[in-house]
A and B are shown apart, each in its own frame.
Chain A
């Protein structure tokens, strides 16, 4: 992959998330799915968000579109969107969930590629029709133009027999084809940011590589930013420019992809990297693991959320006295202040 100018310029990020908190108010108690996550998305670059299942990756990114349904609620934080240099900033958290403001952002400015391509298309309409409808709603085109544009997009995403596929139902397409159609649908309205929520997890490895290549190719053509959510560090290394590591609702480390892989600071990041099986490792050793398990979101530890799994926490940290806060350790490399020295 050709890394785009790894130097981080002083340009303002297209999307800034500051201290986002999303809580789910259930009968059993409040689940703090996202608890103060902050990250920036730079124009034309790919941000990888990595973390294990249940750490809040999907909830955090769905809040960007205000798609978190009741009982989930954004309780704090702001999401600043700067789609157009001339227009003023939009704070997405202050928009109504069903107003025309958020509707103009959804799909048109920020769109989403889903993980499971089987359920992301309605089974009762043809794939083509669903994309045509999306285009008609967003671009105010008539049916024929929308159809032409859909066909164009089907060709651009490398769909075999695009004319025929347009008139088929989702179940008549293979997994890879459905994901290509999903990408066409996500990109057809020229969004500035595309959220890819584990788009390759449900695919086999060959198809996965094709889809990643396709995304990179389209990014170079269109210049959109991508937020790529995954728990696969290999995929992150392949596609991302910047990486944010998420743990229990917080971003614990955030840096360029080279920094993360070559000088990780947070013990969680180190742990994740150490637990990747290596092809060169000949002796039959057990893979290192991160001791303990994730605390249940109902009872998060106070202070540093990682302290009960950390190998060498400081005394203050062990007692939960240190608040979580990202600080910059080297240009563009942010780590949770508590854990700078324990990795």
Chain B
């Protein structure tokens, strides 16, 4: 019963998944049992342990050119974590800044920024990503930039709404009276008041970032091969679903777990940080 209550109250399982993700990402070279790039055509499509034909050195089996699945998943965690971290950092920074400016200054600036956000949100993102990669080629930096550019409009709206309600507080007028500059008011009085919103927005973005990264890698415009990325690994397994299902299933499962865990943590944070939504104490 106690365990059930704890699980209900805190996102223990999602937190565990993220801890594992971060630890594997950081210590990938130490943890992975084999070289993720080393192929051996003699060991093609070896099934995971427990299935007939498995080999003891390949715990989760091998892919169609004989690379160790587990090692590739571990290195893939590194790629996913880095993509996630950098694109959310950039996206949320841009989004928060624009949201603060839009809400605080209002008027024409607000109108321009918000209409721009509307237009941006209507862009067919995957198409643009395909074109950009076509022009500039595949690279980690371009992927991160694309994902960051995809994720900034959400935080703008949220932060703007929060800023609008905060800027009419007396302490903002008070700060003006005592000579605080606009930048100071934005950074010291409004930004701290939007932290909770930003944190929730960032966490809830994790899911869509990872999924989009996977989609792009699946379409072949994500992380350039042979770097192991979960999306690309899923893609490479789709031709072997009949005789080597694990090649697509393992990385797909990883994507699923991380996205679900991200959403759970985001929901939990939202409930915790917004007192009006708090249900359990």
Q: B225 contacts the other chain (Cβ, under 8 Å)?
A: no
* Residues in B whose Cβ lies below 8 Å from that of A133: 178, 180
Q: B82 contacts the other chain (Cβ, under 8 Å)?
A: no
* Residues in A whose Cβ lies below 8 Å from that of B179: 103, 106-107, 134, 137-138
Q: A123 contacts the other chain (Cβ, under 8 Å)?
A: yes
Pick the contact of A112 from B177, B180, B193 — CB < 8 Å? Answer: B177
Contact indicator per residue, chain A 73-114, by CB within 8 Å of chain B (1) or not (0) = 000000000000000000000000010000100110001101
The smallest C-beta distance from A200 to any residue of chain B, in angstroms, reads 15
* Residues in B whose Cβ lies below 8 Å from that of A185: 174, 178
Residue of A nearest to B169 (CB): A119
The smallest C-beta distance from B166 to any residue of chain A, in angstroms, reads 10
Q: A298 contacts the other chain (Cβ, under 8 Å)?
A: no
Q: B55 contacts the other chain (Cβ, under 8 Å)?
A: no
* Residues in B whose Cβ lies below 8 Å from that of A189: 178
The smallest C-beta distance from B116 to any residue of chain A, in angstroms, reads 21
The smallest C-beta distance from A246 to any residue of chain B, in angstroms, reads 21
Pick the contact of A138 from B169, B174, B178, B188 — CB < 8 Å? Answer: B178
Contact indicator per residue, chain B 161-179, by CB within 8 Å of chain A (1) or not (0) = 0000000011101111111
Q: B192 contacts the other chain (Cβ, under 8 Å)?
A: yes
- Known contacts: A70-B107, A137-B179, A138-B179. The answer to whether A114 contacts B188 by CB under 8 A is no
Asked if B178 contacts A107 (CB within 8 A), the reply is yes
Q: A67 contacts the other chain (Cβ, under 8 Å)?
A: yes
Q: A1 contacts the other chain (Cβ, under 8 Å)?
A: no
- The range of chain A's interface size is 20 to 34
A46-82 interface with B by 8 A CB criterion: 62, 65, 67, 70
* Residues in B whose Cβ lies below 8 Å from that of A70: 106-107
For the complex, give the distance between the alpha carbons of A185 and B170 in Å. Answer: 13
Asked if A114 contacts B170 (CB within 8 A), the reply is yes
Q: A116 contacts the other chain (Cβ, under 8 Å)?
A: yes
Asked if A120 contacts B170 (CB within 8 A), the reply is yes
For the complex, give the distance between the alpha carbons of A185 and B180 in Å. Answer: 14
Q: A125 contacts the other chain (Cβ, under 8 Å)?
A: yes
Asked if B170 contacts A119 (CB within 8 A), the reply is yes
Residue of A nearest to B176 (CB): A67
For the complex, give the distance between the alpha carbons of A107 and B179 in Å. Answer: 8
Asked if A124 contacts B178 (CB within 8 A), the reply is no
* Residues in B whose Cβ lies below 8 Å from that of A107: 177-179
Per DSSP, chain B at the interface is: helix
The smallest C-beta distance from B107 to any residue of chain A, in angstroms, reads 6
Residue of A nearest to B185 (CB): A122
For the complex, give the distance between the alpha carbons of A122 and B180 in Å. Answer: 13
Q: B44 contacts the other chain (Cβ, under 8 Å)?
A: no
B154-210 interface with A by 8 A CB criterion: 169-171, 173-180, 182, 188-189, 192-193
* Residues in A whose Cβ lies below 8 Å from that of B171: 119-123, 130
A112-153 interface with B by 8 A CB criterion: 112, 114-116, 119-125, 130, 133-134, 137-138
Asked if B174 contacts A114 (CB within 8 A), the reply is yes
Asked if B178 contacts A67 (CB within 8 A), the reply is no
* Residues in A whose Cβ lies below 8 Å from that of B180: 133, 137
Pick the contact of B178 from A98, A106, A114, A116 — CB < 8 Å? Answer: A106
* Residues in B whose Cβ lies below 8 Å from that of A103: 179
- Known contacts: A70-B106, A137-B180. The answer to whether A122 contacts B175 by CB under 8 A is yes
* Residues in A whose Cβ lies below 8 Å from that of B106: 70
* Residues in B whose Cβ lies below 8 Å from that of A124: 189, 192-193
Asked if B178 contacts A123 (CB within 8 A), the reply is no
The smallest C-beta distance from A117 to any residue of chain B, in angstroms, reads 9
Q: Which residues of A are interface residues toward B (Cβ below 8 A)?
A: 62, 65, 67, 70, 98, 103, 106-107, 111-112, 114-116, 119-125, 130, 133-134, 137-138, 185, 189
Q: Which residues of B are interface residues toward A (Cβ below 8 A)?
A: 106-107, 169-171, 173-180, 182, 188-189, 192-193
Write 29 A-B pairs (CB below 8 A) sorted by A numbering: A62-B173, A67-B173, A67-B176, A70-B106, A70-B107, A98-B182, A103-B179, A106-B176, A106-B177, A106-B179, A107-B177, A107-B179, A112-B173, A114-B170, A115-B170, A116-B170, A119-B169, A119-B171, A120-B170, A122-B174, A122-B188, A122-B189, A125-B189, A130-B174, A133-B180, A134-B178, A134-B179, A138-B178, A138-B179
| With A111-B177, A124-B189, A185-B174 already in contact, 15 other A-B pairs whose C-beta atoms are closer than 8 Å | A67-B173, A70-B106, A106-B178, A107-B177, A112-B177, A116-B170, A119-B171, A122-B174, A122-B192, A123-B193, A124-B193, A130-B174, A134-B178, A138-B178, A138-B179
